[in-house]
Amino acid sequence: MFKSKNLIIAEQLLKEGEVSRNWAVRRQITRLGSIINILVKNHWKFESYKANKVIMRGFYVKTKNGGKDYFYYLIKAPKKIKRM
C-alpha cells in the first residue's frame, strides 16, 4: 500500500525521535521542512531555538564522515495523531 510522505516522516520521528535531511532525500522526500511545518500545525513539538526573531526547528550536526546534515528532533507527538 502507498504511504504518504508525511506518514513516512511521522513514523520515522515516532520510531527514532529524529529525522535528517539526508535520510529524507534518500527516500525521495525533498520537502522535509514543509512536512515539519505541517506537523507543527498539528501540535507536534520539536527542539527549537530563536535566531533574529525567527524560530528555527532544525540543527546542523556533523556526521561520521566529516560532513554536515540537518536534523529535526522530536520532543512530543500528540496523543491522537490526525490523518495527514
Tell me: pLDDT of 39 over 70. Answer: yes
Q: Is the residue at 9 inside a domain? A: yes
Q: Is the residue at 83 inside a domain? A: no
Q: Is the residue at 13 inside a domain? A: yes
> pTM of the predicted model, to two decimals?
0.85
Q: Is the residue at 22 inside a domain? A: yes
pLDDT attached to residue 1: 55
Q: What are the pLDDT digits (tens) for 6-33?
A: 999 999 999 999 999 999 999 999 999 9
Q: What are the pLDDT digits (tens) for 66-75?
A: 899 999 999 9
- Strands 54-56 and 49-51 come out as antiparallel
As a whole number of angstroms, the distance between CA 56 and CA 39 comes to 14
Name the residue range of residue 66's domain.
Answer: 5-76
pLDDT attached to residue 66: 87
Element (H, E) at 18: strand 18-20
Per the prediction, the chain carries an average pLDDT of 90
